[in-house]
């Protein structure tokens, strides 16, 4: 492939959204949690999902890496594509999908193992690092990218659960990026953290954007404004409005968005 | 409207509340004390009845070991030494000690001072030290169970002769022997190295211990893998529907089924239908496995349920399959609980008697079982058998066997605690 061709292809890939959701309906048993969601998520950007509690933000996030599969009553209809591949209907193994779409949860949930084993788990699982040296290098670079290396390099053998809450969450982020995913989903990653730890993670998210596509659920509109380029507002299972973060917060088009960001409900 | 209630009412309420709390504490303390007291009583009674079984009375006899009677050819080979008639030699030694016994009856009581297997003590002494042949040696032979009981103080002297197992004449002989320092007590090693016997002084628990070990090994080998896999499947993989609900209810019900029912099941299926051997640890273990399965399944499920869901989410989110999630994370974390449940189930199986009676493990077995197909008995059944025997000598054996059983249970529980400590991890 000559250079010219490569460039144009890369451009096309840049323009093409990383994730496309079309007519996504999600049901928990009889009740519908998401109604006909249509959303494009651009590559190398942070997309924030905001909205009042119970509006379906987490549900949508979990659709993207098929974590809803394990909930028995949950049924997903519609089409979600990752780089043009339908993740639900193309026979893609959800296990492989989750290696490409990592997730960070609301409550830091490191494995009750050493810091090293926490990070090494994913690479070992997917056979990414061959040999001990390469694995060690992966662990170090993941911890460095998560801004945790300096704090833990002397105690890689101590349990990950012994770290502070903010460190644990960064450990979880390091664990997620150790398998080099394309997308990282974050469900309220800072809600259990103090302001300083939150600031560190926000900074980290901004750095990670360079290499990853990030979707983050947050309850803090300040946080959404600080870290995201696009914001999507959900309300009662519907996607009300999506747009550039600056624009959405300064001049929302929908009444409901207006109401939510000015604090009239939610 | 008054928002704050007046202080006086507050005080009265507070007093009442504190009194109630003090009372509750006292009730609790009383309950604990009662439990400890009863347990202490039980242990004291067992130990006080049983400790004497760890000693055995021996009589020292001067025995003439003539070359002519023991080894006439003078080969000195072990087989030849073993083949000699030591019963006669022993009787001669007794007659020499007490020449006054002349009538048939008197002689019979004289010979009865020593245990029915005392000649083997003599033989073993000779086999151990062949140089004794040709000399007159002082050799300790086992006293009979009645003499043993008398020496240990269980047969009172001051009752009419007809109510006594030891008659006046025998008492006289024993007094002479005691005055000569010819009555000694030794640690009863035979209790730990012999199988059951009709003679109390010969009976030991090794047969029952080995039988219990074989049986428990079978039980563990069957019910640990089956129980744990069932629990993992039901807890982690099975869909929640009517069928799994029915299975769950049935497992819970099985845990409450009286154990003898499992014995009947074993009799009908394993013995009568499959024709497996009676009285064998193989079948005993299978029956106990049926009985222990629900316990292990329930304990394992509880342990799996206690693993926080966030761990499963973390593993799934990393791209682990469900099986990898379970075996890399959930199962190791549930291990302490699973092991505790298993050991408690095994302890329950160790103490179980009723179902084993149904499959014939109650027979009198004088041999130590050599394999899982040999006829055997187990500790609790041995206790049951001895408790049922009329001889005075078996009373102390019963309590001693209970002590051994309790020791096994304590060890098993200690292992459970240790394993739990070892596997326990924080999350
Ligand atoms: N496992 C489940 N089973 C049944 N219903 C569920 C389940 N999870 C979520 N729901 C329902 O789906 C709807 C959307 O839930 P979701 O968790 O996506 O909301 P959310 O926007 O993330 O809320 P929050 O901000 O409080 O986290 C809610 O009405 C919720 O009750
Ligand atoms: Mg949520």
Q: How far apart are CA B139 and CA B114, in angstroms?
A: 12
Q: State residue B267's pLDDT score.
A: 93
Say whether A121 sits in a helix, a strand or coil: helix
Mean pLDDT over each residue of chain A, to the nearest integer: 89
Enter the ipTM: 0.88
Chain B residues with CB under 8 Å of A110 CB are 314
Ligand 1 pocket test target in A32, A55, A239 with most atoms within 8 Å of CB: A55
CA dihedral A26, A30, A33, A34 (to 10 degrees): 40
Structure tokens at B143: 């006293």
The reply to whether residue B310 touches residue A105, judged by beta carbons under 8 angstroms, is yes
- Taking only the tens place, the pLDDT of each residue in A17-54 is 899 999 999 999 999 999 999 999 999 999 999 999 99
Residue nearest to atom 25 of ligand 1 (CA): A53
Q: How far apart are CA B314 and CA A172, in angstroms?
A: 9
Buried b vs exposed e over A86-115: b needs ≥16 C-beta within 10 Å? ebbeeeeebbebbbbbbbbbbbbbbbbbbb
The reply to whether residue B240 touches residue A72, judged by beta carbons under 8 angstroms, is yes
**Which of B310, B312, B329 is opposite residue A107, by nearest beta carbon?**
B310
User: Does residue B114 contact residue B91 with C-beta atoms inside 8 Å?
Assistant: no
Strand B183-187 to strand B55-64: parallel, antiparallel, or no bridges (unpaired)? antiparallel
The reply to whether residue A67 touches residue B318, judged by beta carbons under 8 angstroms, is no
**Domain edges within chain A:** 17-108+181-261
Q: Which helix (H) or strand (E) holds B68?
A: helix B67-70
Determine the average pLDDT of the residues in A136-155.
Answer: 91
Ligand 1 pocket test target in A51, A58, A63, A73 with most atoms within 8 Å of CB: A58
- Kindly identify the ligand whose nearest atom is closest to the C-alpha of A60: 1
CA B63 to chain centre: 38
Q: State residue A15's pLDDT score.
A: 65
Q: State residue B427's pLDDT score.
A: 46
Distance of residue A68 Cα from the nearest chain B Cα, in angstroms: 11
Mean pLDDT over each residue of chain B, to the nearest integer: 89
Distance of residue B307 Cα from the nearest chain A Cα, in angstroms: 11
E strand map for B19-83: 55-64
Is any ligand 1 atom within 6 A of the Cβ of residue A223? no
Chain B residues with CB under 8 Å of A98 CB are 316-319
Select from A92, A112, A126 the residue whose CB has the most chain B CBs within 10 Å, as the one to mutate to test that interface.
A112
The reply to whether residue A96 touches residue B319, judged by beta carbons under 8 angstroms, is yes
CA B122 to chain centre: 31
Q: State residue B2's pLDDT score.
A: 57
Determine the average pLDDT of the residues in B224-245.
Answer: 93
User: Does residue A107 contact residue B310 with C-beta atoms inside 8 Å?
Assistant: yes
- Taking only the tens place, the pLDDT of each residue in A51-100 is 999 999 999 999 999 999 888 899 999 999 999 899 998 888 888 899 99
Whether domain A17-108+181-261 has CATH 3.40.50.300: yes
The reply to whether residue A111 touches residue B311, judged by beta carbons under 8 angstroms, is yes
- Taking only the tens place, the pLDDT of each residue in B381-406 is 999 999 998 888 898 999 999 999 99
**Domain edges within chain B:** 57-186, 206-424
Q: Which of A130, A56, A123, A65 is nearest to A95 (CA)?
A: A65
State the pTM of this model. Answer: 0.83
Distance of residue B274 Cα from the nearest chain A Cα, in angstroms: 42
Chain B residues with CB under 8 Å of A109 CB are 308, 310-311, 313-314
pLDDT above 80 for B216: yes
Residue nearest to atom 22 of ligand 1 (CA): A58
Superfamily of domain B206-424 in the CATH hierarchy: MetI-like (1.10.3720.10)
pLDDT above 80 for B17: yes
The reply to whether residue A102 touches residue B313, judged by beta carbons under 8 angstroms, is no
The reply to whether residue A95 touches residue B321, judged by beta carbons under 8 angstroms, is yes
Ligand 1 pocket test target in A31, A49, A59 with most atoms within 8 Å of CB: A59
**Which of A96, A97, A125 is opposite residue B318, by nearest beta carbon?**
A125
Structure tokens at B321: 């399959």
Determine the average pLDDT of the residues in B73-101.
Answer: 85
- For CA atoms B99, B105, B111, B115, the dihedral sign is negative
pLDDT above 60 for A8: no
Judging by beta carbons within 10 Å of its beta carbon (0-12, 13-18, 19+), is residue B413 exposed, middle or buried?
Answer: middle
- Taking only the tens place, the pLDDT of each residue in A158-202 is 999 999 988 999 999 999 999 999 999 999 998 888 888 899 889
Q: What's the gap in Å between A58 CA and the centre of ligand 1?
A: 7
Is any ligand 1 atom within 6 A of the Cβ of residue A107? no
DSSP B5-36: PPHHHHHHHHHHHHHHHHHHHHHHHHHHHHHH
């Amino acid at each position: 492939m000559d250079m010219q061709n490569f460039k144009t292809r890369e451009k096309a890939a840049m323009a093409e959204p990383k994730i496309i959701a079309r007519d996504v309906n999600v049901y928990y048993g009889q009740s519908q949690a998401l109604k006909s969601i249509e959303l494009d998520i651009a590559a190398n950007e942070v997309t924030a999902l905001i909205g009042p509690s119970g509006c379906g933000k987490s549900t949508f996030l979990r659709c993207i890496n098929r974590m809803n599969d394990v909930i028995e009553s949950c049924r997903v209809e519609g089409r979600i594509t990752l780089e043009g591949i339908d993740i639900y209907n193309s026979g893609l193994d959800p296990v492989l999908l989750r290696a490409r779409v990592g997730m960070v949860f609301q409550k830091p949930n490191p494995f009750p193992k050493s810091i090293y084993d926490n990070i090494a788990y994913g690479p070992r699982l997917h056979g990414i690092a061959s040999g001990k040296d390469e694995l060690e290098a992966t662990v170090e670079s993941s911890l460095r990218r998560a801004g945790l290396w300096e704090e833990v390099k002397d105690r890689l053998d101590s349990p990950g659960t012994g770290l502070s809450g903010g460190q644990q969450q960064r450990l979880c982020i390091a664990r997620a990026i150790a398998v080099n995913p394309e997308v990282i989903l974050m469900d309220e990653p800072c809600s259990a953290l103090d302001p300083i730890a939150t600031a560190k993670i926000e900074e980290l998210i901004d750095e990670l954007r360079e290499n990853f596509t990030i979707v983050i659920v947050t309850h803090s509109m300040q946080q959404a404004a600080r870290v995201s380029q696009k914001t999507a507002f959900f309300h009662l299972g519907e996607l009300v409005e999506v747009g550039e973060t600056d624009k959405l917060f300064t001049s929302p088009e929908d009444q409901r968005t207006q109401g939510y960001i000015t604090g009239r409900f939610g | 409207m008054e928002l704050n209630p007046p202080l006086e009412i507050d005080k009265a309420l507070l007093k009442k509340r504190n009194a109630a709390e003090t009372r509750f504490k006292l009730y609790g303390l009383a309950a604990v004390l009662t439990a400890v007291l009863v347990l202490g009583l039980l242990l004291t009674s067992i130990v006080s009845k049983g400790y004497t079984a760890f000693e055995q009375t021996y009589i020292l006899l001067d025995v003439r070991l003539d070359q002519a009677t023991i080894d006439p050819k003078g080969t000195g080979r072990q087989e030849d030494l073993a083949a000699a008639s030591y019963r006669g030699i022993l009787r001669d030694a007794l007659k020499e000690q007490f020449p006054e016994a002349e009538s048939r009856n008197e002689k019979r009581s004289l010979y009865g001072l020593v245990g029915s297997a005392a000649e083997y003590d003599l033989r073993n002494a000779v086999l151990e030290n062949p140089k004794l042949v040709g000399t007159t040696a002082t050799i300790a032979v086992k006293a009979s169970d009645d003499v043993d009981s008398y020496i240990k103080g269980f047969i009172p002297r001051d009752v009419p002769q007809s109510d006594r197992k030891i008659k006046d004449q025998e008492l006289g002989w024993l007094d002479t022997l005691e005055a000569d320092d010819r009555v000694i007590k030794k640690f009863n090693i035979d209790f730990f190295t012999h199988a059951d016997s009709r003679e109390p002084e010969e009976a030991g628990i090794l047969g029952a211990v080995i039988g219990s070990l074989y049986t428990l090994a079978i039980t563990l080998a069957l019910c640990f893998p089956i129980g744990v896999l069932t629990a993992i499947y039901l807890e982690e993989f099975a869909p929640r529907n009517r069928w799994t609900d029915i299975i769950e209810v049935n497992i819970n019900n099985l845990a409450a089924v009286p154990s003898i029912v499992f014995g009947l099941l074993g009799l009908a299926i394993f013995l009568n239908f499959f024709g497996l051997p009676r009285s064998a640890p193989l079948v005993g273990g299978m029956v106990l496995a049926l009985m222990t399965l629900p316990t292990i399944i329930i304990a394992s499920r509880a342990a799996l349920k206690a693993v926080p869901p966030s761990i499963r989410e973390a593993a799934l989110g990393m791209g682990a399959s469900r099986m990898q999630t379970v075996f890399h994370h959930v199962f190791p974390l549930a291990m302490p609980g699973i092991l505790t449940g298993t050991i408690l189930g095994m302890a329950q199986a160790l103490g179980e008697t009723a179902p084993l009676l149904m499959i014939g493990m109650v027979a009198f077995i004088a041999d130590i079982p050599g394999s899982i197909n040999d006829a055997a008995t187990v500790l609790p059944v041995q206790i049951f058998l001895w408790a049922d025997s009329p001889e005075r000598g078996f009373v102390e054996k019963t309590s001693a066997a209970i002590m051994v059983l309790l020791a096994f249970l304590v060890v098993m529980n200690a292992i459970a605690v240790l394993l739990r400590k070892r596997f326990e991890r924080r999350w």
